[in-house]
Amino acid sequence: MRKFGVLLISHGSRSESWVKLVEETVERAEWPADLPKFCSFLELVEGRLIQDGIDALEARGVTDLLVVPLFVSSGSTHLDEIRWALGAQAEPSRETDLKKFRVQARVHFGEPIDDDPAIARILWEKLRRVSRDPAREVLLLVGHGSAEREFHRRWRSGMRRLAERVQALGGFAASDIAMLLPNQIPCKMKLWQRRRPDCTPVVAPLFLSEGYFTQSVIPERLKGFDYRYGGEALLPHDGVTQWLERQVSRLAERAMISNV
């Protein structure tokens, strides 16, 4: 007899408020009462690590793990490591210190946020608070990114599609992306100063929650430029909870069809 359980995975933080924000988002998610769930973290949260989640769910008789990665991009190196450590891919794409997890249940691994339309709507909703005239503004979507070629490509691909979705929703004159790599943000700002001097950049952070990167790093790299920036991350927002619900539903349907 198969029994499904949901394993939510996010990065983790030393900040209790960061952890609480993720946990509250997961707790608000609605799915069948007989579907157990565990909100786990890659690191830094004692007693709530991925192995803790696997053990807790298997102890409840779970035979099939529906794994939902609460990460913003397929380009996350951590996501690649986790997928391998859970046995969802044959080899990691890069060297890793992560060890294989002890897991007996079947693993059904979901997808990160990438360019999900619901996330585009969240970004636009938050941008509306600082945008004044989208037809005379350029959207610049800023994410963490990666310097490693393949992961950089995955970040670019998902972010570009997401930026295009937000551009269409908001009616911006143009859209672009930048990562937190040296000089990318100022280079993109200079590019749009030349290309569209009639437009003001509106900068949107692509981060799960607010913190050092959204409050310090991005504003520091924007110094000296004319721009608009609200600094709001994706959480808190009910749209992320709804995204989780859809991911679980899709994973369960896929697992049932595959009948692994």
pLDDT tens, residue by residue, 32-85: 888 999 999 999 999 999 999 999 999 999 999 999 999 999 999 999 999 999
pLDDT at 8: 97
Q: What percent of the chain has pLDDT over 90?
A: 83
pLDDT digits (tens, 9 = 90+) for 109-166: 999 999 999 999 999 999 999 999 999 999 999 999 999 999 999 999 999 999 999 9
- My answer on whether 177 and 134 are in the same domain is yes
Do 178 and 105 share a structural domain?
Answer: no
- 109 plus 122 within the same structural domain: no
Query: Do both 168 and 185 map to the same domain?
Result: yes
Whichever domain contains 67, its CATH number is: 3.40.50.1400
Number of domains in the chain: 2
CB 137 within 8 A of CB 201: yes
Mean pLDDT across 20-24: 92
Chain mean pLDDT for the chain: 94
Helix (H) or strand (E) holding 222: none
Q: What average pLDDT does the segment 27-32 reach?
A: 88
pLDDT recorded at residue 259: 62
Q: Tell me, what's the pLDDT at 232?
A: 94
Answer yes or no: is pLDDT of 17 > 60.
Answer: yes
d(CA 62, CA 31): 16
Reading phi first (left if > 0) and then psi (alpha if -120 to 50, else beta), residue 254 is in alpha
Residue 229 pLDDT > 90: yes
pLDDT the model gives residue 92:
84
- Strand extents, DSSP E, 17-161: 37-41, 64-69, 106-109, 137-143
| Statement to judge: residues 143 and 81 lie in one domain | no
> How many other β-carbons are positioned within 10 Å of the β-carbon of residue 42?
20
Task: Using the Cα atoms of residue 124, residue 128, residue 129 and residue 135 in order, give the sign of their dihedral.
Answer: positive
Strand partners, 202: 139, 228
Residue of 5, 64, 110, 6 lying closest to 260 (CA atoms): 64
